[in-house]
């Protein structure tokens, strides 16, 4: 009889972009608790001090690197720094992202470039450099691109964000095909509506939360704990035959229906 799945990451090294706050911070700690050593990144090293201490307090190694995913020079420098300090990167969590919420008629050229360059172009080139320098030579890798429910659904006020996340989904499928022969899986982890530093103000509106909740079949917005198991599955050996896939963790909101009526 096979043993229960453990999602054990002991001996693995994970690179997580955008780890100074929010989901990236939680992703990094989840991987560290599962046994992985960490490379964490942000546009400023000072913002990583607390996270680095949390990781090392768990008994894991932790390297902090400066990374602005909108700059190719910054991406190559961050990966070069990692290569000078660690032997391998087994797992990449492409988390760095941003958003601009505006009516479509008010989106500027610069707004569009900020969001798409960060979420789509940055995700691609970080994956490219980590794959080239670490994963392809090793013949092994787990790349987890962070998307959202906007990979498959459109929402007013989120045109550039939705475009970028839809692009991440399609790009992931292409990379999975490209790098499957190299032992690398590439998938999208797509959260639904979770309260983060980016959207915290929206959750202060009780009417909006009620409106949102009514459209989630499971009856509540996401909690950070809901993402831990899916993340670990995609990072671990247990997902070895899963690639090019979109894993929605959204309480069912993407099915496009309101909650079912209670049984009489």
DSSP 162-215: HHHHHHHHHHHHHHHHHHGGGTEEEEEEEE-SB--TTTGGGGG-HHHHHHHHHT
The answer to whether position 2 is within a domain reads no
The answer to whether position 264 is within a domain reads no
CATH of the domain at 88: 3.40.50.720
pLDDT tens string 14-35? 999 999 888 999 999 999 999 9
Give the phi and the psi of residue 61 in degrees, each rounded to 5: -75, 150
pLDDT for position 2:
45
Cα distances (angstroms) measured from residue 192 to each of 141, 227, 249: 26, 10, 6
CA nearest to 14, candidates 30, 46, 45, 37:
37
pLDDT for position 198:
64
Q: What is the C-alpha separation between 57 and 115, in angstroms, rounded?
A: 34
Buried b (16+ CB within 10 A) or exposed e, 98-118: bbbbeeeeebeeebeebbbbb
Does pLDDT of 199 surpass 70?
A: no
Tokens of 38: 């960490």
* Cβ atoms of 157 and 115 closer than 8 Å: no
**Domains in the chain, number:** 1
Active site residues: 161
Q: What is the mean pLDDT of residues 52-78?
A: 97
Least confident of 99-103, 171-175, 240-244: 99-103
Give the phi and the psi of residue 238 in degrees, each rounded to 5: -60, -20
Which stretch, 122-131, 156-165, 211-220, has highest mean pLDDT? 122-131
Give the phi and the psi of residue 93 in degrees, each rounded to 5: -110, 105
* Cβ atoms of 23 and 225 closer than 8 Å: no
3-state secondary structure of 62: strand
* Cβ atoms of 46 and 72 closer than 8 Å: no
Confidence grade of residue 68 (pLDDT, cut at 50, 70, 90): very high
The residue range of the domain holding 192 is 13-248
The answer to whether position 108 is within a domain reads yes
Does pLDDT of 1 surpass 50?
A: no
The answer to whether position 233 is within a domain reads yes
The answer to whether position 84 is within a domain reads yes
Q: What is the mean pLDDT of residues 165-172?
A: 96
Q: What is the pTM of this model?
A: 0.91
Does pLDDT of 190 surpass 60?
A: yes
Share of the chain above pLDDT 70, in %: 92
The answer to whether position 234 is within a domain reads yes
The answer to whether position 120 is within a domain reads yes
CA nearest to 27, candidates 258, 231, 243:
231
């Amino acid at each position: 009889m096979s043993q229960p799945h453990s999602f054990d990451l002991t001996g693995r090294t994970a690179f997580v972009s955008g780890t100074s706050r929010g989901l990236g911070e939680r992703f990094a700690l989840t991987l560290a608790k599962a046994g992985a050593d960490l490379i964490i990144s942000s546009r400023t090293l000072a913002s990583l001090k607390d996270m680095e201490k949390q990781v090392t307090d768990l008994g894991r190694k932790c390297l902090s690197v400066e990374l602005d995913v909108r700059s190719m020079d910054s991406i190559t420098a961050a990966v070069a720094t990692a290569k000078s300090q660690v032997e391998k990167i087994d797992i990449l969590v492409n988390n760095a992202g941003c958003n601009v919420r505006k009516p479509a008629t008010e989106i500027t050229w610069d707004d569009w470039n900020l969001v798409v360059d960060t979420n789509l172009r940055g995700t691609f080139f970080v994956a490219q450099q980590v794959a080239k320098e670490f994963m392809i030579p090793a013949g092994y890798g787990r790349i987890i691109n962070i998307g959202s429910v906007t990979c498959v659904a459109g929402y007013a006020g989120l045109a550039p964000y939705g475009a970028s996340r839809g692009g991440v989904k399609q790009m992931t499928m292409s990379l999975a095909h490209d790098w499957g022969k190299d032992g690398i899986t590439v998938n999208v982890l797509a959260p639904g509506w979770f309260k983060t530093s980016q959207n915290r103000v929206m959750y202060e509106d009780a009417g909006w939360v009620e409106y949102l909740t009514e459209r989630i079949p499971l009856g509540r917005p996401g909690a950070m704990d809901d993402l831990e198991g899916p993340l670990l599955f995609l990072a671990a050996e247990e997902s070895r035959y899963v690639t090019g896939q979109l894993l929605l963790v959204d309480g069912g909101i993407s099915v496009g229906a309101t909650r079912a009526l209670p049984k009489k």
